[in-house]
Structure 1
């Protein structure tokens, strides 16, 4: 059985696309947090507001970041 077949190539391609989407989502989350901090200050920033501004779910924030500690460190 060869590991050089199309299934292996497709798998690598899929992982690269998935990684790129994850990196884009992380960039949107960080940008949204920075914008909210600049606009409203720390008191107004929460996970729901960041997720809403980033166009993602609050669960995505905890998937990519240790919530709160990662945002403000």
Structure 2
């Protein structure tokens, strides 16, 4: 895996922000509880026009059934 300076700075910055939030007492348990309640059964992944984004939908956007 090749890592350039920009990628290194992104990873280092994200790690620093994550550690800072944990030190401030950010509790992610409510977020995890909320996300567990979200309905994701009977959905399928679809690729959007935005690069790198995969979405889930319960509708057939192609109209094939």
| Structure possessing the higher radius of gyration over alpha carbons | 2
Query: Could you say which TM-score interval applies, normalised by the shorter chain?
Result: 0.3 to 0.5
Higher helix share: 1
Indicate the structure with greater strand content: 2
TM-score, with length taken from structure 1: 0.32
